[in-house]
Every structure is written in structure tokens, then in C-alpha cells.
Amino acid sequence: MKQISSRQGFTLVELLVVISIIAILAGILLPTVVNAFKKASDAQVRTELKSIETAVKAYVNEYSKLPLEDDWHGDPDMNLTEAQAKLTIARLVGGNPRKIVFLESNTSDGTFLDPWDVQYRMYVDSNYDNEISIGTNKIYSQVVVYSTGSGTNVYSFRQ
């Protein structure tokens, strides 16, 4: 004679045990995944900051001047506004007299945004003394590029 089993599925206790194990594993892994994404964004920002700085230096080598509007030259150590930084970067992505692309843009309109969709900013040595004063710090460079996009950290290639 054939025996018929009355058990056709999982019990409520078995399902709750499996769900609790999955929840514990997710709780352990979630901070690790979030931290990995943050580190990836940080690495992307540092790479892009270096790219912008290199593009500015290449522009200076090509044109013997910073990629600034003509009436901005001569001011001491300018901290470019967001609009000024956007115009400056537009010159680096091909908006210069010879249409040379010094910097590949990550947007369709030629702006260059950080991973948090905020325009990169920069200090420039517009009086050409190769010295930028930021607060009490003096940095010997033509440009210092930075991002304030994450809201909690300021990223600069100089860090």
C-alpha cells in the first residue's frame, strides 16, 4: 500500500528562520556595499580633479595663458564661481580658439560634473606668480581644483 504524506510545504517557523538569516546577512553586507560605492566615488573625484588640473596646464602650454575670460586676468588668486568654473571648463572641452579638446566632458552640454552632479570649482593664479593663497595656506601652482559635491567632504587634488 502507498503511503500519502500530509506535508506539502514549509512550516511557518521554517520560513521565519530563513527570512531572519537573510535579514542578518543583508545587515552585515549592506554597510560594506555602501562603503565600496563611497570609495568608488572618492576615487572618481580624485581622478577627475587630476584630469582638470592637467587640462589647465596643457591649455597654458598651448596658449601661454590660463583658460579664463580676458577681463579676469590680473586679479590675485581667484576662487572661480560656479558660472566662471563652467566657462573655464567649457574652454578645456573644446570651446577654445583652435577647438582643441584638453578634457573629455562627462555631460552632453560640455560641463564637467562630479559624481554628485555638482560643478567642479577651482582657484586660479590669475596674476601668474605661481602662488595661490587659500586662507592661511599658500599653494605653489597655477590651479587648484576642488569639489564640494558630497556635502560632507571637500575634495581637492592637493589632499
Q: What is the pLDDT of residue 130?
A: 85
Highest average pLDDT, of 43-47, 74-78, 148-152, comes from 43-47
In this prediction, residue 74 has a pLDDT band, given cuts at 50, 70 and 90, of low
Residues 6+ apart with CB under 8 A from 80: 88, 121, 122, 123, 124
Q: What is the pLDDT of residue 139?
A: 86
Pairing of strands 143-147, 155-156: antiparallel
Q: What is the pLDDT of residue 29?
A: 92
**What is the rounded CA–CA span in Å between residue 19 and residue 154?**
41
Mean pLDDT over 98-111 rounds to 79
Mean pLDDT over 139-158 rounds to 74
Contact 123, 54 (CB under 8 A): no
Q: By 3-state DSSP, what share of the chain in percent is helix, strand and coil, each rounded to 5?
A: 40, 15, 45
Mean pLDDT over 27-41 rounds to 90
Mean pLDDT over 132-136 rounds to 83
pLDDT at 107 over 80: no
Task: Please give the model's pTM, rounded to 2 decimal places.
Answer: 0.75
pLDDT at 22 over 90: yes
Mean pLDDT over 54-80 rounds to 83
Q: What is the pLDDT of residue 73?
A: 60
> Residues of the chain with pLDDT > 90: what percent?
25
